[in-house]
Amino acid sequence: MPGVVMMENGFRDTLPTNHDSDYGQYVNGNANLAPQSTSDRQNGLLAGPSSGSNNGTDTMINGTGDTDGTNSAQPQRPGSNNASRMNDLPDEIQHITQGFVPLGFLLSRLAQKTHNQLGDEIMALAKMPAPAPAVNGNSAHVGAAIDDTSAENLNKKARLLNFVQEKHAEWVKAAVITRWSRNAQGVSKLIDLMNHINMQRKIYDDSLEYTINIKRDLTFARLPNPDLHTALHVLSTGTAPWMPDLNYIEPPPLSPKEQLQWIENLNTLLSIRLNLEDHENIPYHFRDYIIDSGRVTFTVPGEFEVDLTIADEDFDKQFWFIDFRFAFTPAPADLSDSLTMFLEARVNEALEKDGLHGCHKFLHEFVLTHKITEYVRQAVELARGLWVDTLKIERLNRAMAIQYWVGRFPPEGPKSWIILGVHSGKISSLPADSQSSSYLALRWFRDGKEVKDVKIPLNDASISTEDLLNRVIGRHVGYILDSIYTRLKSNGRFVNREAGLALDVRKDAPIQSTLKMQLGHTQYVTVGISPITGMFSMKPQSLMTWRGESKLNWQSKDPVQDGLGCLESVRCHYVVDEINRRGKSTGWTVCKGPVKTDGIKEILNTREMSQLMWLKRRGWTDQWHLMVTLSLSGDKWWLIEVSGGSDQETEISSFTKLPLSSCAPNLEDRFFSNLTIFTAAIISHIVDMRSLHKRQIKHVTHDGMNYSLPPSMKVPTIFVRLSDILNQQQPRGPGKRFAHWALDFVEIMFKGIRNPPSRPRILGRDQISGSVAGESAAPALGDQSLHTFLDARLKVSDPSRFGLLKRHVERDVAFSRRLGVFALRLEAKVGSSILDLLAQRLQAIDKLADCIDAIRRSGRDIQCEEITLTRVVVTYTDQIKPKGGAATQPHGSRWKATLELGADGIELLFERGNPQLRVLDHFQRLVNSDLRCQKLPFFLSSTLPIQRALDSVEDAWETFAMNDQGRVEILAAHLDWFNIHYYLPGPNRNPRAQRRLTLQVRLRDRRERVEWHVFREEPGAEKHPDDEFTQALNKVWNAEDKVWRSLVTSAASETDHRIGDLIKAVDEAVRRLAMQSPTILKHNQPRGQAQAKTQAQAVYHKAMASGKARPQTGQVVVLDD
């Protein structure tokens, strides 16, 4: 019922077009309504400004807009629903709202329709031809109001008038409806009452009809009145005289002998007739017969058995039907009476017309029809039972069609069915054959196409529709699985026998037909097809196989075409899931691809569809990734190195195909462990080769056996020139250094990896100081870097030169005396080159070799106490190395020196109290020069006596310096050059008039030997002044019983203890000038007990000159005033 909309007097706005429909809804000329949503306009609802909520909003339903407020003032019944009581009717009367359309919606559609049609009409009028004068422009009176009576103008006016009349009629109807809408509430009540009256009238009519039907049905349930009179007479007398009697004469009964004779005669007649008279007329299929009991039984195997007999001795008479039995199963054992009567009449008729041929033809066709009926019956039972909703059966004319796998595909998808019917057995190109007859023929349509090259056996002797369907479906399932198998087998993974694939087709048992494909190392997926539904099934059940089943069952239109991709997808998802699940425990994680797909196509160089999987090992740097390509041609593993940061597009800088077997790997922890080792080895090899090429170091690779890697994984060994590595850090220009102590090649071989420790390692002070320069400490907690171990080996030219080395030089360095080989264990992060560390180690070994070789060749008494790659501890004396292992008696204790072999050079360390500490800097320069340790043993041992003497000189002058009686300064210009400066006070102890003496002690060669030369050389013009110092020194140079060699104005001495005696003698002579006379006193001895000054001096000088007098322990030389 249209709703009520109040009309307003006044000018009406222009009706909107379709372009204005989104800006407002005009109803009855009111344009003050808010825009409506699309759903509201489609549902015919008119929403006002307050239509956003249902509470407190007056909604116009069925014309009850209540704009005047009358309806809102009516009282409401308590407990009743306001929406269902709008018309104030009893509960028994149903309020009708179905089919009502709001008046605003109706008027809006009418206005829109009128506007659109008006626009179309205007366009049509514009296209109509104009009158001829107007076209040619020959109008004589342009401004005259002359009526145009041309045909074109009349047509336009007529068309416009018809349009206006038609629209006027529509709007008049709308006006009438609008006027009636003011009484919408009463009309709605009338509609409800009319509907209620009609419902009550229908209930009355239905009740009356039901009563009439009951009365009509009781007519057939009425029983007739019983004939009590006849029943009483029959029960009393046993007769009914008023019943008619036909007066038949019964034949005399036959005796058993007569019956037997009659049967034998009948058998004889049948035998004579069939063997003599009708022998040529017997049909081919009736050749198998038996005569017995007065009848002949013709048997057609798999069809029927029929019993015939004769009723006359005349052989021209026909055979007569006696009995019929089916010769197939399942079939009824006994025929019904009606069927027997039907067969008897029809068979006798056929025997009368066509004889035995007609009988065979009729019964043969009858049996074929019955067989088809039996097939249909069993098919219907199957469709109601196990095969419900999967079969569609259609009975045709002496044929049937069974569509199987109904619902397997959508209605427009392919269909498969069989047609079982009767074939005439005749071949048009061949003449008729008496042996041929009609038979049951089966036609198979697979996916809408008839299959003619497949012979399906049809056992019509034992009818089973289920077996027939199984045989057909078995071949259909075999075709699908075999097609998928053929397409899979032609791919590389199965051609190269890298994966297992097996097909087992059971043509008569489709449920046992399977296709088995290898997924993993020991995992297989078995694909089967349900013969009932045609749905694919995959075992074992998992998420991947379930997705594969769903794809083949519900998304695929052709399983033969999509089966290959689906199975490969299942395998790929399985492999990805296994790698992701098992790899997490060993540090392998799946990551997002760092590069775009276009960059990968250049690497794969194939158009074959493949699935990519990106992996990353915990501890790798950001640029290294492992890519796995899964495809039918074989799985491939790639080691990818990318370049480019966050601001640049990443590109593949290098890629290496890992020589892993394409066979399905055993994805256990051992595989991922081996993969970690192998990839780390490959990365290390790539980085090292790149670094060697960049540094222009000559190298060569060799594919040898590496027992640190699995047998199936091989990484080439690198051979590098030793001289090139040693000269990388410190090039020497044209004259580069060559390590003559070793062969000029280093063998670098991968040995393994190490994961970072989970806890930080605490190093001691000695471990920190003793670590190789460039080697970092243990990784801090949280550092997940992966480290690689490489074994670098070099063979020495003369193993005897390293006889002082122990087997384990250091934790990561070992030396084999028997083989003469150094073995270095190098450790670096994955992705970092070990060349820097190798160069440091080799330089350290080179330094160590120089040091050990210098010690070994030295003729001095120096011994190695501790030898490592970074540290050499030696002890030495001032003696010459004894020959034949004889023991030496050193003049004093053995001193210890430590050589720290670092990357920046060699550092020499002396123990506290060592007299050679004064020349430590010179020793440092010596060991870090080109000579390295070549002269170190000589200077350590040969300069020890003079260093002791110089220490004693300094100790003797401490008291003089404290009393301002003089001082001494000892300066070491070099290890073989010392300057001794004496400063004595002048006359009357005048500090401004000091006396100065400068002595030089230099090591010189003499007759293939070296000796210390002590002489005086003053600075300035006068080198050798003639003063008191010269007189005192001459006495020393030319002393009696001296242990040194006099050179008139100087002296020379051996490098042993005699140089110390010479230095002490010179010092004593100088001290005599500073004091009147020296005196030797013991500690705690009184001054009065001292000997005479002149006598003590004479004895002391004589002893010093002979080299027999030395200060004893606990004695000092005291010089008094």
Task: Give the strands of the sheet with 808-810, arranged side by side.
Answer: 699-702, 717-720, 746-754, 787-795, 821-829, 813-816, 808-810
Q: Tokens standing for 773?
A: 């320069």
- The whole-angstrom distance between residue 638's C-alpha and the CA centroid of its chain comes to 13
How far, in Å, CA of 880 to CA of 311, rounded? 154
The pLDDT value recorded for residue 41 is 38
| Cβ contacts of 892 within 8 Å, gap of 6 or more | 877, 878, 948
The pLDDT value recorded for residue 664 is 82
How far, in Å, CA of 417 to CA of 603, rounded? 49
Classified as helix, coil or strand, 404 is strand
Rounded to 5°, the CA angle 873-879-884 comes to 90
pTM above 0.85, yes or no: no
Query: What H or E segment, with its residue span, contains residue 599?
Result: helix 597-604
How far, in Å, CA of 849 to CA of 872, rounded? 11
Buried b (16+ CB within 10 A) or exposed e, 324-343: bebebeeeeeebeeeeeeeb
Number of Cβ within 10 Å of residue 1002's Cβ equals 17
Are 838 and 853 spatial neighbours (Cβ–Cβ below 8 Å)? no
Mean pLDDT by 10 residues, the chain (1121 residues): 36 37 36 39 37 37 38 38 55 81 89 93 87 53 61 88 94 90 83 91 94 88 83 87 78 89 92 88 90 93 93 89 93 89 94 92 93 94 92 91 91 90 82 80 93 90 93 94 92 88 92 92 92 92 90 88 90 90 89 84 78 89 89 88 77 86 83 88 89 87 79 83 75 54 84 65 40 38 72 84 73 84 87 86 80 80 81 85 58 80 83 88 86 83 87 88 86 89 76 79 86 87 80 86 85 87 88 61 38 41 44 37 30
Q: Tokens standing for 436?
A: 């041929």
The pLDDT value recorded for residue 989 is 62
